[in-house]
Amino acid sequence: VETDHGAIATDYVVVGVGPWVKQVWEMLDLPARIDVTDRQGQTHSDVRMWHYQSLQEGTLGVDPGLQRTNAGRMPPVIHVDSDRPLYSDVDGRLITDRMWGIYYKPDFHFGGIQGGAAPVAVERDPDEVAVDPYGPESPDFVVGTAFAPMWVSALAFCQRRFSGTLPYYKDEPSGGLGCFTPDNFPVFDVFHQNCYFIADSNHGYKMIGIGDLVSQELLGEPSALLAPFRFERYRTGELHPTSNSPFPWS
């Protein structure tokens, strides 16, 4: 492996680079466009292998301890999808009458309630998307002014304790960029005999056990849990069900 700090000799490479996966994919001369056979057997030609979505995230600067359980423990991440109309917690105006979703959790590192809403598709040609600088340092992929009123109103919809808290939203650069596969689900597979791709399609922490399963595969124990996520599924049509959630990773 050639790096900017010299060459590294190795028998196997595991690629788990998040939103930079497209660049490594190209380094290995893997296809930028593929044919995808859907679950009905119809083949769609010349489909882009990768596309980007802008992640919508932020922090509400209230006491994160508000969300501890009655036993004083940390709660799970709360994820809500709703088809109910969402109205502003400030002035009652309609924000959206389409399906919406949020997730949130107490975060003592961020000093508040941290979370987000469904990502926004990046309409730009993927070849023209600059992943660096990443996240809040990027002028292109930080959340816009509409995010905070929507997200905090959704928090108030879910739990009344958040009503009236919009002034506590941390007005600072936030967000990020996710790199997604054609069906928005991960690809876990071997390429060029000794390069294992963990292309998580922005599923992130929700797949905390993947590293253990991949390590077992590298030691010669194929995983039935990872089998549905092989690259070959795009050719065979063994795709995952299409989600009705506003989140592409649900």
> Would the pLDDT of 129 be above 80?
yes
Strand, coil or helix: 231: coil
- Mean pLDDT over residues 158-186, rounded? 95
Q: Residue 47's pLDDT band (boundaries 50, 70, 90)?
A: very high
> Would the pLDDT of 49 be above 70?
yes
Cα(189)–Cα(199) distance, rounded to whole angstroms? 9
Q: Is 158 exposed, middle or buried (0-12, 13-18, 19+ CB in 10 A)?
A: middle
- Look at the pTM and tell me if it is higher than 0.85: yes
Contacts of 73 (CB under 8 A, 6+ apart): none
